[in-house]
Structure formats: structure tokens, C-alpha cells
Structure 1
Amino acid sequence: MGENEASLPNTSLQGKKMAYQKVSADQRAPGHSQYLDNDDLQATALDLEWDMEKELEEPGFDQFQLDSAETQNLENSETADLNLDSIQPATSPKGRFQRLQEESDYATHYTRSAPKSNHCNFCCLFKILCTAIILFIFGILIGYYAHENCPSNATSSGTLDLQLYQEILKTIQAEDIKKSFRNLVQLYTSEDDTEISKKIETQWTSLGLEDIQFVNYSVLLNLPGPSPSSVTLSSSGQCFHPNGQPCSEEARKRNSQDLLYSYAAYSAKGTLEAEVIDVSYGNADDLKRIKKIKNVTNQIALLKLGKLPLLYKLSLLEKAGFGGVLLYIDPCDLPKTANLSYDTFMVSLNPGGDPSTPGYPSVDGSFRQNRPNLTSLLVQPISASLVAKLISPQKDRTRKGVCSPLELPNNEERIVNMQVQTVTKFKTVTNVVGYLKGLTSPDRYIIVGSHHHTAYSYSGQEWASSTAIITAFIQALMLRVKRGWRPDRSIVFCSWGGTAFGNIGSYEWGEDFKKVLQRNAVAYVSLHSPIRGNSSLYSVASPSLQQLVAEKNNFNCSRRAQCPKTNVSSVQIQGDSEYFINHLGVPTVQFAYEDIKALQ
């Protein structure tokens, strides 16, 4: 080839008016491949040149020229696999961009597609965001004007003010309560619990209550035996009934119901003859004092009610080794106006619920445990008059207006024989549950609870006052409902059965609907024993309801001379609310009218 210019074999490249530097054959390294002169190498060099121009383009780069191959050091060419530095970028007399315009085929063949821009994606996202904001604002405007223009037949109780509260109170009349009370007392001698429940359901339905249901549970009850219990003095052989009257056929006939139901439900049954030991109120200090001077194993404890929970005191006596217990109420612990010396009473040793299904509801298919008694002690309630007969000689316990408590001297020995007879049976307990649906939060519940007489128990006429009060309350609310008023939350009216045996009705219902009540119950209003006097309103409330109760007390006490302060306590609330406050954690309040003298 010599020093002459190497001619390009591809004539098509010569027609494109492009000038390339000449490469001398003498400049090639020895042993250089002959294929460097072919057309593919020229095309590859052209492509590489164009890529370098695009990627390394900077201001003034158009004047970039590669050094001549003649000035390169050929001595180092042996270490290079392929030296393309001698190929210089092509230039056009008219400029690169002008050449692209003249030769469109060149541009389409050697150019790469430009990367896509993100401008389109940003515009789409911006449009979507604007559309969502406009729709959101439009929805708010529609909801606002729809709420303003939508008529409501019932007025929300959110605007319940003092005037509405006064109107509800004025609707509750004493004559209506007395009438309802008299009608309920007539059912006292009924032996069928269903009859009383149907009577309550009929009254509530006549008042307009919407939904009333009977909720029945088959539970284990401990009932009195065929004959009343008795206490016999071993020294004289005298036999006494629990009320202090001598054992006789005439006394049984005259007070048959009272004598039969003077017993402790779920007590052990049998006969025990032992020494009577006075343990006063039965606290830990009293027991320590007694055990130092006497042997208490399998003896009979004379125990006063009060100061501590009964079940706790019985557990201490059972642990100490006593075999029996005689319960009584000291007259000095009662109001001065009360004279209950010959009155007897019934107690339940059941902490709550059906003893055969502890912790779960007594529904069909539930496992039943055999628990005829809940303690090993023989427990018998007696009157204060019977306790006085156990103490000799008889003394006047009232001196100069000061009451002397009943006490059995420790240096005197009294041996008695106590006989306890009970029967355990499965019976049906009925709860009456009515619903007044709320307006804004119908799935949130305010529970108002009372209790009715269970035919198998003896609870006097207390249950009738409880049922009469809740019936009058329902009547007052339903009159407002007929005028278009509705409470914000649903109100659940409950009349519990089996209260005397350990709040069985409320326990079983609470266990049956435990999950719903824990989630949706707001408060429990207890009307367990609302009438205990006629002097002032006495209330016991959970801490979260203290402010509400204080406001209502101030309103009701404005017309009275004296008003007791609100007692904030959960432990002191007795009756059917026990399961709701202690097991479900529902805030509870209890109202009752008391005599101030009885509270002092």
C-alpha cells in the first residue's frame, strides 16, 4: 500500500461527502490484522465516533481533534490490543447539525432514542390529586346541606336540659307508684315465677315499651326444707324457732312462711351440738383473741352481721375450725326507730350466679357441677330476741339512752343443738328485659336494673317497691317518646329474677352477653332497693359518675333541709349491679331514699 492513501472499499461511504483522516500502512504495528481495512471496521469506528460526540459533548468540544497517528509512540503499540486513537472524529464543512439535515438517512441509522421525560407522569398525578380534592369538598358540601334540610321526627336528647329533666320528674306521680305497688304485692303468694314475670311484661307493654323479652335460665337453688330450722338449749331442753318463739305447732302455722325462709341458702345441712362462742363481728383480731382462751374446733360461733362482708367472715371461721354459725343483727347497729328484735331474715352464701355453672351461663348444654352447699359450716340466721335468751341473766341493754351491745360472757358455757334443713333443686329463673332504642347511638346501652320476687324466695315487699319504681320511670319516659323525644343511647330496662339467692338472674344474663356488654354498655343504674325512707336521696356511684350524681343531688336537695354527700364507692353498691361493676367494669350508680337518722 505504501505511502499512498488507503482507498475505502465501500463506495457508498465515499458518496456521503465525509472526510476521514488517512491512515498510513507504515504506521500499523507489525502483525496487524488485515481485517482492520474492511467495511465493518469503518462502520464501527463511525458508530463509536458518534457515541463519543453525544456523551462527551461540552462547550467548545466541536474543535476537538485527535492527534495525528504519526506523532504517536509506535514502540508501545505491541501492548495494545486495538488502538483506535488514530481515528479522528469526522467533521462536516457545514457543521454537524447541518449535516444531519442534509443526510436524513444518517440520523436514523446512527442516532439513539432520547430518554422519556417524567413531565407526563407528574401531570397525571397532579390531575388525580386535584380531582380527589374537588370531590372531597363537594361531598362535604352535600352532607352539610343534606343534614340541614333533612327533617327529623324525633328530637335528639343531646339538647336535654334542666327543663326536660323537670318535666320527666313531674310525670312520675306517687299515686301511680302506690297503685303499681299494690298490684304487685297481691302476687306475693304466687308459687309460679312465670306469673309475676308476665304481670311485669303486661304493664311495660301497656306503657308503650317497644321490645320486651323473657330470658330464662335453669339454675341450682337451695330451698328451705319441709320444716323450719331450730335451736335447742341443751341445759334446759327448750326448743326455739329462729325468730325466738318456742317450737310449737301454733307458731308454725302462724308464721309458716317467715319461719321456712329464715335460713342461709347453700349452707351445709345437718345437726350439730356444741358450745356457743361469741366472736363479735368475726374479724381477724376477734378470732385471735378467742383462740387464745378457748378451743374453737367444731364449735358454734355467735356472729354479728356488719363491718365486714359476710362471706369473708365465714371463710375466716371455717379456716379457724368452727363447725357452725349463728348469725344475728345487733339492735345497737340499727336506727333507734327500728324494732327488729323478733324479725328473721334470709341470707345467701352464694357469691353470685348459678353455683352449678361458675363463670359461664346456665344455657342448654352447659356442664353442670354438683355443688349442693358452698361451705362446710352449718349456718343459721336467728333474731336478736333469741340471742338475748342465750344470755343470762336478762339485763336491760338501754341505760340513759345508750344501747348496750349483746355479748355472751366468755366465762359462761352455753351448749346448744342446731338443726339446719335445706333442699337443693334445679329451678327456672326468669329475667324481664325491655328495650328503648336510642336515636344517635342505638348500639350503646344504659342499663336500668330492678328485681322482682322469685316465688322460691322470701324477700318481703322490698322487691315490689323496686319493680314499682322502674315501672313509673318507664311510664314517664314513654310519654316523652310519644311526643317525639328519643334518648341518644338505647336504654335497657331489666327486672331480674333470683336476686335473693345470689343475684343469679343478673349474673347469668351478664355472662350470657358478656362480650357485647363489655364493648357497648355505658352505665348501670341500680334500683335494687330504692325506698328505705322518705327523708333524702342517698346515692352511691362509681368515680366516673361522681360529677353527674352530684349535680342531680343538688337539684333534688334544693327543696330539702339536709342532703347527704355523694358516696363514691363501688364496693358498697349491693344487689344485681355487682356483676356489671366488678366483672364487666361498667360504671354504676345507685339511688335510694333514706332517713337521715338511719344514716347517722
Structure 2
Amino acid sequence: QLSLLEDVGFGGVLLYIDPCDLPKTSDLADKAFMVSLNSGGDPSTPGYASIDGIYRQNGRNLTTLLVQPISAVLARKLLSLPEDTVQKDRCIPFQNTATDKKIISLNIQSVTTYKTISNVIGYLKGSVLPDRYVVIGSHHNGLNAYGRQEWASSTAVITAVIQALMLKVKRGWRPDRTIVFCSWGGTLFGNIGSYEWAEDLGRVLQRNVVAYISLHNPVRGNSTLHPVASPSLQQLATESQSLNCVGKTRCPRSNVSSVQIQGDADYFINHLGVPAMQFSYEDIKTSENSGFLSEALFPLHATKTEEMDPSFHLHEAIAKLTGQVALRIASEPVLPFNALDIALEVQNNLKGDEGDVSRLLAVAARLRDTAELFQSDEMRPANDPKEQAPIRVRMLNDVLQGLEKSFLVHRAPPGLYRNILYRLDERTSQFSVLLEAREHSKLHQSNETLQAALSEVLNSINSAQVYFKAGLDVFETTLAGKK
């Protein structure tokens, strides 16, 4: 959202995290933090791969704003607030009630340099459909002071998954689809490694990737299991997590959501329209917050991994969950994606909308009817090899693979996903692009932005309905031809 401040003429920003939003397991109120202003990839090659000899744009900075993160303690002093913000077990967020003006001198001496970012990529080739990829993504870190905990957990989990799969390979097993293991570089600076790799191989990945499983920061707390999944993968996530609850940690079967997640899944979700999934352990309070807190990196976290998970049972649980869903996606003849869940998610996001969305609801109803027919037992072959027709299975998988691509809008407000199936946070129950557009319309007293957003959402829902209908028509033609 910093770009909005820049647009209206602000010259500088002091960023802080309200103490009410900080994890209760860590004392971070007096700690400053690092945050990247890069929205994704190499900023000098926007929209195309940063390879040797490529043209680089001359923009030296990501923003003209002077931006400095500060601790909550310093923010309290600048806002002239009392020391104690907790009253009767209730945390009171910071509010700027001071009437006096303060002059703050902000001198930021950033130096722009080019560095080489390296990814580590490995793969286990599929035996039946080697041209279909299930991508598992972790990341590594070049900064000793920042983000050490998350990349260590990420690397530990993907290593355990690879070791477990290699034991199966030694016994002669192979997945049907290819599994690609990725350890991304440059994640802390705007997911540079994953963006540039995907931009370089964009056409191949657009056609071949069926799912992305994220291991961005798998153990960031120890209170609750927090699964996030695309609507088409929510059923798979629910089935998987019910088998892997650990000890006394809370993992109810109904808490799978489609909220925006941080890390290298970004390009796959927002540019390729690939269904994605992520399992992580978090603190309850953290899981309720919006994404900014997870973007903030504190030096040498007060709560170390060994303190949150001394027996490493949580890491083991994430490794099991990740391996389990990867095996199902990579090995089941028919992709375990649920088309009806997408239609239901669309309808739920339109319920309770304060505006006139009658046209959207009508198209959403048609989408649900078509998805129900597509999802019916008559249209989906069983996973018993004796009942499968190879051409029918391939056609089904091609349709299932592209389910979410219809929901990529051309433009999204800053901070929101282009994939409108994802909500901004747990507290949002409608399409985030519509909520943002309504706020913009109230502020500027103009319906132009809202009408554009409504048109984008309407077009997405209609495109998905047409996509499902076309798949059904192909099936009817093919089956009639066989008869």
C-alpha cells in the first residue's frame, strides 16, 4: 500500500507493527525489522527474465518514498502514547491522538547494486506423465541476521521430504507425474529467484505445472496448524491434515482457507494461475492478522526454532503433510482437484455483499450448476485402472489443471492478489478486489473503480463457467464418437 502514499504526495514513511499484532510468544516491541519494497522479481527487468545480456531499465529505486521501519517502542514515543496499552485483558491499538507537530529528519542511504541469485532445482521424473509437474518450493537465505529461522525450517522440511521419496525410489517406485524440488534464492528481497526462473520458463510452466506446494515458513509458531489452499485443493488439504494432528496442537478439520500467503508461491498463483497449498504452524494471533506481519523480518528471532519445536515434531508433521499431498497429486490418475469447491467459494464470496451483485450471483449460480455436472460420478472416472479410459482421464486432467486460470484479473489494487479466489486475510469474507474498490469509491465519490472491479469479477466467473461448459461439450462429443 506504500504506492498509494506515494501517489498522493507523501515523501517519507515510518513503518511499525502495532504491539497488538505482534506474536505473544516473542518480545519484539523494541525491535526494528526489515521489509522488502520489491513486489516481485528483478525490478530492473519487470515482466521478463533477468538473464545475461538482457536490457535493464534505468530506474534506480523501487519507490521515491523514504521508508524506514521502526520499533513499536519508538512509534509509541513519536505518537506520545502511554506505556501501557493493555486494559482489562484487551490490547488497544496505537492511535495518533497528539495535536502537536513533530519534525522528523529521515536520512536513508540505500545503495543499489546487482547481485547474482542462485536457485537449487532438482526433479524426480514421472513414469506416466513426465510433462506434468508438481512443484515443491522452499527457500534459502544469504542474510545471517534476518530470516534465519524460516529458511532453516523450510530447508529442513524439504530435505526430509526428498529423503523419504528417495527411499521409495530405491525400492523401484516412481510417481506418475514429475515432482520438481526448488530451493529459491533472493526470497527476502522480493521472491527474485522464483520470479526470474518462472519468467524464463513461463511458457513451459504455464502448460505443464499442475500444482505448487509451498514451504515458505513452515514453523512460525506452535499453537495451531494453519493450512492454506486454493479452493480446488481445499478438500485434499482437509483430508490430509485430519490424519496428521500433532499432540495437543489444535488442527480442526474445517479451518482450511484461501488467504493470501507470502513467499515464492506468488508467481505461480498470480501469473500462472496454478493451484497452490501451504501447511504451517503458527500462533493463533498471527494467523488472524493480515499479511504484513509475515513480511516483516526481525533480526535473530527471539523465539528460536528449538524453543518452539524442541522435539521437531511440528517439522515432522509438516514434512508428512507435504509429502502426502505431493504423492497424491503426483500419483493419482485423476488429479485430486475439486471443481465444485471453486463454484461454492465464488458464491460464498458474494454473500453479504453490500452492493447490487445480482448479475454476479446469476452467473455464479450457472457456474455452480456446470461444476456440479462436471464433478458428478458420471463425468469422473474412478481411480480403478480397470474402469479408466486413457483419453477420458487425460481430458479430465487437462480441464482440472486449468480450473483457476480464469480467475486472474488484469489489474489488482496494490497489496492484493491478481487471483481473486484468494482473500486478503482471515477476516475478509468477500472478494478483496470488490471491498477495496468500494472503499476507493467512498473516498473519491466515484463509481468508476467499483464498476471496473465488478466487470473484472463478472468476466472471471463467466470465463470459468464457459471453461467448464466447454469441457463438458468435449466429453459428450468424444463419448458419442466412441459409441
Cα 1:360–1:545 change in 2 (3 A) is same
Q: Which has the larger radius of gyration?
A: 1
* Alpha carbons 1:332, 1:403 under 8 Å: kept: yes
The answer on 1:578 being equivalent to 2:266 is yes
* Alpha carbons 1:541, 1:566 under 8 Å: kept: no
Equivalent residue for 1:353, pick from 11, 19, 41 = 41
- TM-score with structure 1 length normalisation? 0.46
SS of 2:238's equivalent in the other structure is: helix
1:63-212 superposed matches below 5 A: none
- Name the amino acid aligned to 2:93: P
Counterpart-to-counterpart distance in 1, 2:6 and 2:84: 33
Counterpart-to-counterpart distance in 2, 1:333 and 1:490: 41
Counterpart-to-counterpart distance in 2, 1:520 and 1:533: 34
Cα 1:440–1:425 change in 2 (3 A) is same
Cα 1:598–1:362 change in 2 (3 A) is closer
* Alpha carbons 2:134, 2:210 under 8 Å: kept: yes
SS of 1:547's equivalent in the other structure is: helix
Equivalent residue for 1:412, pick from 94, 100, 116 = 100
Equivalent residue for 2:211, pick from 523, 533, 540 = 523
Q: Deviations over 1:551-590 (max 9, x none)?
A: 1011123865632434332x51211010011101111101
Residue 195 of structure 2 corresponds to which residue in structure 1?
Answer: 507
Counterpart-to-counterpart distance in 2, 1:388 and 1:531: 30
Equivalent residue for 2:71, pick from 383, 386, 392 = 383
Residue 324 of structure 1 corresponds to which residue in structure 2?
Answer: 12
Q: Deviations over 1:488-509 (max 9, x none)?
A: 1111000000001100000000
Equivalent residue for 1:567, pick from 240, 256, 262 = 256
Counterpart-to-counterpart distance in 2, 1:363 and 1:457: 29
The answer on 1:469 being equivalent to 2:157 is yes
5+ residue gaps, structure 1, are: 1-312
Counterpart-to-counterpart distance in 2, 1:415 and 1:350: 28
Residue 60 of structure 2 corresponds to which residue in structure 1?
Answer: 372
* Alpha carbons 2:230, 2:275 under 8 Å: kept: yes
SS of 1:429's equivalent in the other structure is: coil
Counterpart-to-counterpart distance in 1, 2:48 and 2:145: 23
- TM-score with structure 2 length normalisation? 0.57
The answer on 1:427 being equivalent to 2:119 is no
Residue 125 of structure 2 corresponds to which residue in structure 1?
Answer: 437
SS of 1:425's equivalent in the other structure is: coil
SS of 2:107's equivalent in the other structure is: strand
* Alpha carbons 2:184, 2:193 under 8 Å: kept: yes
SS of 1:493's equivalent in the other structure is: strand
* Alpha carbons 1:536, 1:557 under 8 Å: kept: no
* Alpha carbons 1:457, 1:500 under 8 Å: kept: no
Counterpart-to-counterpart distance in 2, 1:445 and 1:318: 40
The CA RMSD over aligned residues, in Å, is: 1.9
Counterpart-to-counterpart distance in 1, 2:145 and 2:58: 21
Tell me by how many angstroms 1:333 deviates: 1.5
Residue 363 of structure 1 corresponds to which residue in structure 2?
Answer: 51
Tell me by how many angstroms 1:419 deviates: 1.2
Q: Deviations over 1:229-252 (max 9, x none)?
A: xxxxxxxxxxxxxxxxxxxxxxxx
- Name the amino acid aligned to 1:501: F
Tell me by how many angstroms 1:521 deviates: 0.6
Cα 1:368–1:484 change in 2 (3 A) is same
Tell me by how many angstroms 1:377 deviates: 0.8
5+ residue gaps, structure 2, are: 289-483
Counterpart-to-counterpart distance in 2, 1:433 and 1:325: 38
SS of 1:356's equivalent in the other structure is: coil
Identity %: 64
The aligned length equals: 287
Residue 278 of structure 2 corresponds to which residue in structure 1?
Answer: 590
Equivalent residue for 2:221, pick from 533, 543, 567 = 533
Equivalent residue for 2:178, pick from 487, 490, 508 = 490
Cα 1:370–1:406 change in 2 (3 A) is same
Richer in strand (by share): 1
Counterpart-to-counterpart distance in 1, 2:136 and 2:33: 27
- Name the amino acid aligned to 2:245: C
Counterpart-to-counterpart distance in 2, 1:361 and 1:531: 31
Tell me by how many angstroms 1:414 deviates: 1.4
* Alpha carbons 1:443, 1:490 under 8 Å: kept: yes
* Alpha carbons 2:222, 2:281 under 8 Å: kept: yes
Q: Deviations over 1:396-441 (max 9, x none)?
A: 2222222222223241211111111111111100000011111211
